[in-house]
Amino acid sequence: MKILLTGANGLLGHHILKTAHNISPNVEIIATARQQPYSGYKPFEYLDINDEVKLNYFLDVYNPDVLVNTAAISKVDYCQQNKAQCYRTNYEAVKNMADACYRKGIHLVHLSSDFIFDGKKALYHEEDQPSPVNYYGECKKMAEAYLLNSPVTTAIVRTILVYGHPPSPQKGNILTWVLDSAQHNEDIKVVNDQFRCPTLVYDLAEGVMKIAMQKKDGIWHIAGNELTSVFDFACRIATKAGYNTNFISPISSLELSAPTQRPPKTCLDLNKSITELDYHPKNIADGLRTLQDEYND
């Protein structure tokens, strides 16, 4: 099995490269990104996914069985303020990938998001209708719709608030934000009225690899199984690392007045992934323990 991977320097892409051979010893992965992989991984090719000509060239040269697209502009506020860029990368590039993969008979695995939903339902099933509340979610929704209506064989993988150690200190996520703030004695405010099922990046990498190796199609929910407020999650990260949590203050979404609206609660039904993929995500305590063990090694 040969996989061409986009976004190799992202949180997910990096962890796919790190773990893929444990999960699937016979897989060959060609990493692509806009910069050399922080891990030094090879084989590697420079690829901006907005460059349709180069994408087609690498698909011809490597002729992979599967293209796994983890590249995206994942910063929600940035997308709201840079709509044309978000549209180009999170929608148009995916559309081009689908067309190219269909022409060349390549299976496409694409990463989507809980942010396609408005967050008013307790639990979202694969077939629930998207109704995003921000532009990032809107572009993810458009990409999903294009893939589902395209003749390409494709899997859409939705996930939620991914946490793990990033490949480089410049690349942040909630884990690094909380730990860096604690280390530098900086106070932070974290919303206590937004609820998520955070996803350990290792669980996501494993789920994505299972989907790619089995060339699954349709919609897949690969996320965490424990609902928490973002504030409580931040406190648990700090506590696990041995910090007092008094540098973290709760704040409501209204008080925070972030430039971008976010869904109040997102939790994805995992039954299909549990049954058909044998996907068993770690709860938050075990997820944080895994990361602490990794950090201490």
Ligand X SMILES: NC(=O)c1ccc[n+]([C@@H]2O[C@H](COP(=O)([O-])OP(=O)(O)OC[C@H]3O[C@@H](n4cnc5c(N)ncnc54)[C@H](OP(=O)(O)O)[C@@H]3O)[C@@H](O)[C@H]2O)c1
Residue numbers at the binding site for ligand X (CB under 6 A): 6-7, 9-13, 33-35, 48-50, 70-74, 89, 111, 113-114, 159-162, 171
Calpha distance 19→209 (Å, rounded): 9
Cβ-based nearer residue to ligand X, 73 or 123: 73
**Closer to ligand X at the Cβ: 13 or 213?**
13
SS3 14: helix
Gyration radius of the chain over CA positions = 18
Identity of the residue, 74 or 225, whose beta carbon is nearer to ligand X in the bound complex: 74
d(CA 212, CA 234): 32
Q: Please give the helix or strand (H or E) that residue 211 lies within, else none.
A: helix 201-213
CB within 8 A of 176, min separation 6: which ones? 165, 166, 169
CB of 163 to ligand X, least distance (A): 8
Identity of the residue, 10 or 64, whose beta carbon is nearer to ligand X in the bound complex: 10
In whole angstroms, the minimum distance from the beta carbon of 175 to ligand X comes to: 11
- For the chain, the first-to-last Cα distance in angstroms comes to 31
Give the shortest CB-154-to-ligand X separation in angstroms: 14
Q: How far is the CB of 11 from ligand X (least distance, A)?
A: 4
Distance (Å, rounded) from C-alpha 29 to C-alpha 41?
Answer: 10
Residue 64 sits at φ, ψ, to 5 deg, of -70, 160
Q: Which residue is nearest to ligand X (CB)?
A: 10
The nearer residue to ligand X, 9 or 154, going by C-beta atoms, is 9
Is 134:76 a contact under the CB 8 Å cutoff?
yes
Report in angstroms how near the CB of residue 4 gets to ligand X at its nearest: 12
Amino acid identity of 131?
Answer: S
Q: From the CB of residue 242, how many other CB atoms can be counted at a distance below 10 Å?
A: 8
> Smallest distance from the beta carbon of 72 to ligand X, in angstroms?
3
Residue 82 vs 244, nearer CB to ligand X: 82
How far lies 183's CA from each of 16, 88, 145, 177, 292, in Å? 28, 37, 43, 10, 15
**Paired tokens of 210:** 């299972």
Amino acid at residue number 94: V
- Least Cβ distance, residue 143 to ligand X (angstroms): 9
Closer by beta carbon to ligand X, 159 or else 273: 159
Running DSSP on this structure, what letter comes out for residue 268? B
